Amino acid sequence: GNSVTQMEGPVTLSEEAFLTINCTYTATGYPSLFWYVQYPGEGLQLLLKATKADDKGSNKGFEATYRKETTSFHLEKGSVQVSDSAVYFCALAGGNNRLAFGKGNQVVVIP
């Protein structure tokens, strides 16, 4: 079945550092890929998405490129801010249009 794997553990980094959160997937066919973000005390919000290979999703300085050859959709941001502290979830929607989520990564940005 469809599944998403995110790197283990929280990510702690200093303000203005470069952020990468790894995401790989297993799916049949050609899924759509998403990153959702959950700020403290709030629900999940769609951050960005890509619907086909080589597409790049971007929003709020975050980017992720749909890599079919490596089945990956890594999230990157060049210079993080304290306000980016949140939990980030990678997800995919396959042929059944069910969203399959990864476990999420807690990102803590220190001033």
Partner 1 sequence: DAMVIQNPRYQVTQFGKPVTLSCSQTLNHNVMYWYQQKSSQAPKLLFHYYDKDFNNEADTPDNFQSRRPNTSFCFLDIRSPGLGDTAMYLCATSRDPTTNEKLFFGSGTQLSVL
Question: Interface with partner 1 by CB under 8 A: which residues?
Answer: 4, 32, 34, 36, 41-46, 49, 51, 89, 93, 97-104
In whole angstroms, the minimum distance from the beta carbon of 51 to partner 1 comes to 6
Cβ-based nearer residue to partner 1, 42 or 111:
42
Cβ-based nearer residue to partner 1, 53 or 79:
53
Place of tokens 């297993």: 26
In whole angstroms, the minimum distance from the beta carbon of 7 to partner 1 comes to 13
In whole angstroms, the minimum distance from the beta carbon of 96 to partner 1 comes to 9
Cβ-based nearer residue to partner 1, 42 or 69:
42
Residue partners of 106: CB distance under 8 A and separation at least 6: 10, 11, 86, 87
In whole angstroms, the minimum distance from the beta carbon of 17 to partner 1 comes to 24
Residue partners of 49: CB distance under 8 A and separation at least 6: 32, 33, 34, 35, 57
Cβ-based nearer residue to partner 1, 34 or 62:
34
Cross-strand bridge partners of residue 99:
93
* Angstrom distance (rounded) from CA 17 to CA 77: 9
* Angstrom distance (rounded) from CA 72 to CA 86: 21
